[in-house]
Every structure is written in structure tokens, then in C-alpha cells.
Amino acid sequence: MRKTLVSLAAGAFLAGCSLIPKYEQPAAPVDAVYPTGDAYPAAGAGNAVNGPSAAELGWRDYFTDPRLQRLIEVALQNNRDLRIAVLNMDAYRAQYRIQRAELFPEVNGSGQYTAQRVLSPLSSSGQGIVGRQFNLALGITAWEIDLFGRLRSLNEAALQTYFSSEEAQRSTHIALVANVANAYLTLRADQEQLKLTRETLGTYERTYNLTRRSFDEGISSRLDLRQAQTSVETARATLARYTRQVAQDVNALSLLIGASVPADLPEGLSLDDKLVADVPAGLPSDLLRNRPDILSAEYQLKAANATIGAARAAFFPSISLTASAGTASRQLSGLFDSGSGTWLFNPQINVPIFTAGSLMASLDYSRIQKDVTVAQYERAIQSAFREVADGLAARGTFSEQLQAQQRLVEASQDYYKLADQRYRTGVDNYLTLLDAQRQLFSAQQTLISDRLNQLTAEVNLYKALGGGWIETTAAPAPAAAGTPTVSTPATTATPRS
């Protein structure tokens, strides 16, 4: 018995052994700073250098439109993709708990009753008898003593996979916030296009009616009449297109929020208002801490690294233990009588001798999988770097583009007024007025599209920097007298599911 206890103690001591390779975070395959040049804003130019980072800025503080805030709130409550991500995270947590339970012996209690009739030719007494036996036992079955850390390696892999699913759920949350914002902004832009098209159609119809009266009086030609009609019909086709797009935008928004668009939404802001706050870009190294997809990829890398430890441990002997203690009797009333106790102690060792190379192949596969996850981790960093760089390029150029487009709209409006006056007084033909009308309409449409593109670029930059996870910005911790103020990191918000 003493030898048994010593063996168990030695096994428990050796169970701390681990063959998992030492984890080293791969170097980020991107530059230490974001690109610079004509397309990128200068440092401090509208970047809110002293403000909170995107990851620390709550989405209620970033999006200033109360209608959009309400839609995001509904989406976080009802969106099915987010619900699936939360359930997947719960499933991986359950799998980790299952794997962790294998580290501990499973104790089971059992009760058994056996009755058997033995025929007289088979009986030692030469008479048929009925044998009965009652058994009660408490024990463990095939518990593997983790001498070389195989189970602990699998447990670590399951834990890192669970952490990865948490970050995946967080990534889905952030993407949902950005997608709802982009869908809402697209809806507002198409509504503006629809309004503009209605107004333009009214202008075209008035001009067409005037041209038709002039044609009836013999002042205008048939060519002028048909040119005016083509403008009207083109505007009507455009009106039908934007009517359809607005309806489809509402359907897309309903799918994202997981419910019908509420009828009691608060009043929204105009596209010309400041709909989003400014956030600093920071440094590429910040992405490694703030981007959930990068963190998820790194947790997957750690899980693959732990799997190598399990593959290594498979080369060594494994010991499993089966033991039980109980009582047995031919009579139910005699189960607890003196001398009825029974016990079983059955240790088993399994030594791999010849496996036809399967263990080495398993180890090679684990190493290859780790190399794959390294490449996936590096690709996630490069993708994040590119998304932020694209967002900064958009921030640095859209402002000038919008200003130029606004000046073009103003010039086109003046051109249209002059052409209309000259046409009504007979100085110019209808072709000049038609060109002025089409140029103004096109310039106004482009201005709305450019504003939408600027807003969606800002939203995507906020998402690329890891923003959209928390609801409200955390207040900075109060500093003691004479102590510099340091902003505390924002607390993680629990998503609604």
C-alpha cells in the first residue's frame, strides 16, 4: 500500500511536466508607422490627438445621430449573427470544461444485482441451483495519469480556442455596429438622392411644358421638344431606381437589426451635419491590442502551439488507473456485514513501440498547423494595417474633394440660372439649357455620393482601429493632487444577445 501511495505521489509530481514549445509572438509584418504622403493627413490635422483612442471611444459618443444610436441598440439586442457568435463562444467554453475534466479522476458509484440458474449437469453438487449476488462499489475507471502533459496540452489548446471564440464574438459585435451605421448612412444618402431627383423632375417637367407651348406656337422646334422630353423620362427612370433602392436599403437595415425598423425613431441628423467624431489613428502596434480579429488569430496560434505539446507527449508511455472499493453479498441484507468488503486496483501502462509512423506524422501535422496559423496571424495584421491606411487616405483626401465638389455644384447652379434666362429670352437654344440642367443634376448627385463615401470611410476607420465594442466612453480616473492625469482603459461591455 505504501508503494502505491508513493507511485501516486510521483505521478502527481510528474503531471506538471509539459512538452508545449515556448510561445514567442511573431514579429508584426508591417511598418512601425502608417504611410505618409499627399493622400494622408498630417499628424494632428483633425485627428483628435489628445482624445481617447477608437477602442476607448464608445459608439454612442462616436455616432452623434440619435436615430442611428437607437438602431444600433436594437441590432445588438436582436441580430442573429451576433447571437450565433455568442452561442459559439458558449459552446467552446463548454468544450474547454469537458477537456479540463479529463485532468481529474471520474468517481462513479454502482450497484448491481445478478441472478443465474445453473443446470444440474453443470453444478458441482449435481443439482440445479440459482445463484444470486448483490454488489455495491465506488471507484474510478481508466483515469490517465498525465505524466508528460498530454492532457494539460489539450486543455491549454481548448482554453486558447475558447479565448479565440471570445474575440471572434467581439469582432462580430464591432462589425455589426459598423454595418448598421453604413446601412443607415446609405439609406439616408439614397433618400437624399430620391428627394433631389423629385425636385429635378419637377424642374424638367416645367421646362418641358414651357417648351411644348413654344412648340405649339411655332417658336420652338420639334428637336427642342424631344430633348426636353428625354430629360423628363430620364429623371423618371432615375426616380424609380432610387425609390427601389430606398426600399431595399430599409430591408437591408431590417435584416441587420434583426427586426422591423421601429416606427418611433427619434429625429435624425442631416448628412451635412457632423455625424461622427474624430479619433486618432495611433500606431500599428495598437492594433495588436485593440483588433479582436488579430487577438483571435493569436489565440488560435497559441492553441496550435499547445497541440504540439500533446503530439510530443504521445511518444511517451501513458498510465491509466482503474480502482474501486465496495461490498458484495449473496443476500441484500448482508451487503454491510463484516467480511463483505471487496476492492480492485488495476493500473495499466501503454508504451508505443511500433505505430508505423503515425505519431511522427501527427507531430508533423501539428507543426504544419502552427505554421499555417502563424501565416493567418500575420495576414490578419497586414489586413488590419491596410484597412487603417486606406481609412487615413480617405480622411486626408475627402475633405478637399467635397469642397471642390461643393464649388462645382455652386458653379453649375449659376450656369443653369444663366442658361435658363438666356433660353427664355431667346438668346440661346435649348441645347445649352439642357446641358446646364444635366450638369447641375450630376454635380448634386456626385456631392451626395462623395459625402456618403466620406462618412462610410470614417466608420470603417473607426471599426479598423477596434472601435465599436463599448457603448460609452469610460471617464478618466481622478488623479491625486500634483499627479499627472492618466486615462484609464475603457471597460469591456457585455453584448446583449
Cell numbers standing for residue 179: 454595418
Q: pLDDT digit string (tens) for 21-39?
A: 999 999 999 998 999 898 9
- My answer on whether 49 and 166 are in the same domain is yes
- My answer on whether 72 and 162 are in the same domain is yes
Cell numbers standing for residue 320: 491509466
Query: Distance (Å, rounded) from C-alpha 9 to C-alpha 23?
Result: 29
CATH number of domain containing 333 = 2.20.200.10
Kindly state the percentage of the chain with pLDDT values over 90.
58
pLDDT beyond 60 at 477: no
Which of 47, 78, 45 has the alpha carbon at shortest distance from 255? 78
Which of 187, 158, 176 has the alpha carbon at shortest distance from 72? 176
Boundary-marking domain end, from 332, 351, 370:
351
pLDDT beyond 90 at 430: no
Lowest mean pLDDT among 42-46, 288-292, 343-347: 42-46
- My answer on whether 96 and 233 are in the same domain is yes
Mean pLDDT on 65-94: 94
Q: Around Cβ 120, how many Cβ atoms within 10 Å?
A: 10
In a domain, 483, yes or no: no
**Residue 487 pLDDT:** 37
In a domain, 493, yes or no: no
Q: How far is CA 138 from CA 106, 341, 343, in A?
A: 11, 12, 9
Beta strand segments in 300-390, E:
318-329, 341-350
- The three-point CA angle 215-220-222 to 5° equals 70
Cα end-to-end span (Å), the chain = 55
Boundary-marking domain end, from 304, 325, 351:
351
495 within 8 A of 75, measured Cβ to Cβ: no
- My answer on whether 347 and 412 are in the same domain is no
300 within 8 A of 161, measured Cβ to Cβ: yes
Residues counted in the chain: 497
In a domain, 482, yes or no: no
Residue type, 254: S
pLDDT beyond 70 at 43: no
The enclosing H or E element of 66 equals: helix 66-78
Sheet holding 341-350, edge to edge: 107-118, 129-145, 318-329, 341-350
Radius of gyration of the chain (CA): 37
Backbone angles phi and psi of 221, in degrees to 5: -90, 170
- My answer on whether 138 and 241 are in the same domain is no
If DSSP codes are grouped into helix, strand and coil, which group holds residue 139?
strand
Query: Distance (Å, rounded) from C-alpha 425 to C-alpha 428?
Result: 8
In a domain, 232, yes or no: yes
Burial bucket for residue 415 (CB in 10 Å: 0-12, 13-18, 19+):
middle
Helices (H), 217-260: 222-257
Beta strand segments in 179-329, E:
318-329
- My answer on whether 452 and 385 are in the same domain is yes
Query: Distance (Å, rounded) from C-alpha 241 to C-alpha 243?
Result: 5
The enclosing H or E element of 138 equals: strand 129-145
If DSSP codes are grouped into helix, strand and coil, which group holds residue 325?
strand
- My answer on whether 33 and 131 are in the same domain is no
**Residue 495 pLDDT:** 39
In a domain, 208, yes or no: yes
CATH number of domain containing 287 = 1.20.1600.10
Higher pLDDT, 486 or 53: 53
In a domain, 389, yes or no: yes
Cell numbers standing for residue 372: 499555417
Higher pLDDT, 101 or 224: 101
**272 contact partners, CB below 8 Å, separation of at least 6:** 451
Lowest mean pLDDT among 105-119, 218-232, 408-422, 466-480: 466-480
- My answer on whether 160 and 261 are in the same domain is yes
Cell numbers standing for residue 342: 471487496
Number of domains comprising the chain: 2
Cell numbers standing for residue 122: 453443470
429 within 8 A of 419, measured Cβ to Cβ: no
Q: How far is CA 323 from CA 13, 75, 101, 344, 431, in A?
A: 20, 54, 18, 5, 100
Cell numbers standing for residue 322: 482503474
Query: Distance (Å, rounded) from C-alpha 368 to C-alpha 305?
Result: 10
Query: Distance (Å, rounded) from C-alpha 53 to C-alpha 67?
Result: 24
Q: pLDDT digit string (tens) for 270-324?
A: 999 999 999 888 889 888 888 999 999 999 999 999 999 999 999 999 989 898 8
In the block, which residue shows the cell 488495476?
346
Q: How far is CA 270 from CA 186, 194, 401, 402, 493, in A?
A: 12, 14, 19, 16, 29
- My answer on whether 239 and 285 are in the same domain is yes
Backbone angles phi and psi of 146, in degrees to 5: -80, 70
Which of 388, 325, 316, 401 has the alpha carbon at shortest distance from 352? 316
- My answer on whether 151 and 233 are in the same domain is yes
- My answer on whether 209 and 260 are in the same domain is yes
Cell numbers standing for residue 287: 492594433
The band of 356, judged by pLDDT with boundaries at 50, 70 and 90, is: very high
Q: pLDDT digit string (tens) for 127-181?
A: 777 777 878 888 888 888 888 999 999 999 999 999 999 999 999 999 999 999 9
In a domain, 478, yes or no: no
- My answer on whether 451 and 411 are in the same domain is yes
Which of 319, 301, 317, 308 has the alpha carbon at shortest distance from 360? 308
**Residue 6 pLDDT:** 41
Q: Which domain holds residue 287?
A: 12-103+147-315+361-464
Q: Report the chain's mean pLDDT, rounded to a whole number.
A: 86
Q: pLDDT digit string (tens) for 217-230?
A: 887 788 888 888 89
**Residue 489 pLDDT:** 35
Kindly state the percentage of the chain with pLDDT values over 70.
89
In a domain, 418, yes or no: yes
pLDDT beyond 50 at 491: no
| DSSP assignment letter at 316 | S
**Residue 78 pLDDT:** 94
